[in-house]
Amino acid sequence: MASLYIATLWALFQGISAAEPSSFRQQCLSFPKSLNIANATATESEFVAANTTLEFPNADASCSRPSQQVSTDLCRVTLQFATSPRSGIKVEVWLPEEWSGRFLSTGNGGLGGCIQYEDLDYASSLGFATVATNNGHDGTTGQSFLNNPDVIEDFAYRALHTGVVLGKDITKTFYGKPHTKSYYLGCSTGGRQGWKEVQSFPQDFDGVVAGAPAFSFNNLTSWSCHFLPLTGLPSADTFIPLDIWPTIHQDILDQCDELDGVKDGILESPDLCDYDPSGLLCGSGQSSDCLTAKQLQTLRSTYSPLTSIDGSLVYPRLQPGAELTGAPQTYFTGEPFGAADWFRYAIFNDSDWDPLTLKPEDYVLSSTLNHFNIETWEGDLSAFKNRGGKVLHYHGLVDGIISSDNSPRYYEHVSQTMNLSPAKLDDFYRYFRISGMAHCSGGPGAAFIGNQAHSVASLDPEENVLMAIVRWVEEGIAPDTILGTAYVNGTKDAGIDFKRRHCRWPTRNVYKGSGDPKDENNWQCVDI
């Protein structure tokens, strides 16, 4: 009798456990029927098994994301949502079967326009119900801003915030209960979006990780676009030939590498580097591996802050050190940078506008227009602080696209606006400088900090900024430092080269003076 009972129970149990995966699948497939979202269209769902490669045949080719490997079993919900009669967003919500109860929103990059599938996969594989949008338009250009302020409004703040509201709602309906905590993870434009949320939608997130923020957006764009008129075309006598940048980099290292105590090719404090390029002036009869007086002037301007017609600061200088990590390829090619689309389509509304004609008056125009407060420079974060939010801000110190000198400037702006000392800011806002990290990832330093799937060395909160913000929010343990990893030749397969602890502002990393500099314990964070 008892054994029959157990056998029956066993059979039942087997039946249930066998039914579970297919019931998740079933629930996923029928899910759109239970959704009723005003202004949403084309709502679809599909069950995606771990290790599936999703193909996106209709994605804009400029996004360079034709497919994505999916790491965990999940329900993929897609929809379109009208943000106005002439604008809308594409939304993806990835709902993992093994849900941690947490919610996360990803961000975007550049002027795009591109759903960051790799971030959707990264967060959903860690158990977050994860949302992403196309930021209100498809592709990497700014063409769709032309004569459509609603598309600009989506880009400035509305796409992300709307995605969060929808994503939370869909998460709740799907799992039958609301999320526990909500998070944000983004870099570059994604960093600006994170800050926009902290400043203007403080209720959206409990924890925000914002990297290399494109905030002070109008002025950053002026700075990005001023390099073309500065260098001129490759034929101009002011133009610096691309092949001399490694020499310039070495000259910078010769002058500044040891300011942190070690000549290792990594500047822990590029802000302290007062680079003097005069040694590169061509001697008489010398014509290679040197610069003319005019080229030297271009170089000096590059490493000087950009000012406006009245002498006020537009944007800080490019930090010295990024000569091999994107700066020459981005700004010194003698060709327009992609962000020129902002001036072309959102400021001048003129498809024929020539980026070579940018002038200081235009910086003022853009910053005065400040469409939908895209500047993202509010210094009062009281509402976010008061709701218990935490923000982890980081910036790579060999970022060749967004100068890392701008990040501490924002930190000081918040400190002054809120009248809070760094010790007080530490309660909810921490800024980390990542030495040797290029724009959002890569570079010669210990740049693997878990901010993106391809930059993960560990899931330990000491070494992973996403896990660090989760621990800060949920356990109240704030990150003191971020332990980064550098792999041999930047590739994981080649093994670990060294680790280094990245310091929290306003401290800087210095070598203690003895022991192997590749051992992170031989460095310390000291006051700047």
Q: How far is the CB of 50 from ligand NAG (least distance, A)?
A: 4
Residue 232 engages ligand NAG in binding (rule: CB under 6 A)? no
With CB cut-offs between 5 and 8 Å by kind, which of ligand NAG, Ca ion, none does residue 308 bind?
A: ligand NAG
Minimum gap (Å) between residue 301 Cβ and ligand NAG: 17
Q: Does the footprint of ligand NAG cover residue 12 (CB under 6 A)?
A: no
Catalytic residue among 188, 222, 404, 435: 188
DSSP 285-348: T--SSSB-HHHHHHHHHHTS-EE-TTS-EEEPPPPTTGGGTTHHHHHSSSS--TTHHIIIIIIS
Q: Is 275 left (phi over 0), alpha (psi -120 to 50) or beta?
A: beta
- Is 405 considered catalytic here? no
- Smallest distance from Ca ion to CB 485, Å: 17
Asked whether 104 and 119 are in contact (CB, 8 A), the reply is no
Active-site residue flag, 399: yes
Closer CB to ligand NAG, residue 98 or residue 460? 98
492 CB neighbour count, 10 Å cutoff = 15
Least distance between Ca ion and beta carbon 267 (Å): 6
Binding string to ligand NAG for residues 174 to 213, with x set by CB under 6 A, is what? ----------------------------------------
- CB contact burial 288-316 (16+ within 10 A = b; e otherwise): eeebeeebbebbebbbeebebeeeeebbb
- Structural contact between residues 131 and 119, judged by C-beta atoms closer than 8 angstroms: no
Least Å from the CB of residue 218 to ligand NAG: 6
Residue 216 or residue 451: which is nearer to ligand NAG going by CB? 216
Instruction: Please identify, using beta-carbon distances, which residue of 252 and 318 lies nearer to Ca ion.
Output: 252
Say what angle helices 2-34 and 159-175 make with each other, to 10 degrees. Answer: 150
In this structure, what DSSP letter does residue 355 have? G
Report the residue number, 85 or 176, with the smaller CB distance to ligand NAG.
85
Q: Compute the residue count for the chain.
A: 528
Element of type H or E holding 471: helix 465-475
Tokens 């976010």 correspond to 384
Structure tokens at 301: 């301007």
Catalytic residue among 60, 150, 399, 405: 399
> What is the size of the binding site for ligand NAG (CB under 6 A)?
25
Neighbour-count burial of 135, counting CB atoms closer than 10 A to its CB (0-12 exposed, 13-18 middle, 19+ buried)? buried
| Stretch in the footprint of Ca ion (CB under 5 A) among 115-123, 179-187, 262-270, 460-468 | 262-270
Tell me whether residue 117 or residue 363 sits nearer to ligand NAG (CB atom).
Answer: 363
Considering only residues 226-255, where is the footprint of Ca ion by CB under 5 A?
A: none
* Number of neighbours of residue 142 by Cβ within 10 angstroms: 24
By CB under 5 A, residue 257 contacts Ca ion: yes
Residues 312 and 71: their CA atoms lie apart, in Å, by 49
How far is residue 130's CA from residue 271's CA, in Å, rounded to a whole number?
A: 36
With binding defined as CB under 6 A, does residue 488 bind ligand NAG? yes
CA-based angle 165:171:177, to the nearest 5? 115
The answer to whether residues 433 and 394 touch, using CB atoms and an 8 Å cutoff, is yes
Residue 52 touching ligand NAG (CB under 6 A):
no
Letter for the amino acid at 432?
A: F
CA gap 381, 393 in Å, rounded = 14
- Nearest residue (CB) to ligand NAG, 161 versus 504: 161
Interface with ligand NAG by CB under 6 A: which range of 96-104, 117-125, 250-258, 488-496? 488-496
DSSP state of 267: -
**H or E stretch including 133?**
strand 129-133
CB-nearer residue toward ligand NAG: 226 or 439: 226
DSSP state of 217: H
Residue 416 binding ligand NAG, by CB under 6 A: no
Selection from 20, 455, 10 nearest residue 212 by Cα: 455
* Binding flag, residue 314, ligand NAG (CB under 6 A): yes
Is 251 catalytic? The answer is: no
Contact set for ligand NAG, span 334-373 (CB under 6 A): 348-349, 363-364, 367, 369
Query: Of these, 22, 23, 69, 312, which contacts ligand NAG (CB under 6 A)?
Result: 312
Instruction: Point out the catalytic residue in the list 226, 371, 439, 502.
Output: 439
Binding of ligand NAG by 125 (CB under 6 A): no
**Binding-site member from 247, 308, 373, 524 for ligand NAG (CB under 6 A):** 308
Nearer to ligand NAG, 113 or 277 (CB): 113
Backbone angles phi, psi at 451, to 5 degrees: -80, -20
Residue 126, token pair as written in the block = 């860690």
Binder of Ca ion out of 29, 37, 146, 262 (CB under 5 A): 262
Q: Which of residues 81-110 bind ligand NAG (CB under 6 A)?
A: 82, 84-85
Contacts with ligand NAG, residue ranges (CB under 6 A): 38-39, 50-51, 82, 84-85, 149, 216, 219, 308, 312-314, 348-349, 363-364, 367, 369, 375, 377, 488-489, 494
Contacts with Ca ion, residue ranges (CB under 5 A): 257, 260, 262, 264, 266
Query: Among all residues, which ones are annotated catalytic?
Result: 188, 399, 439
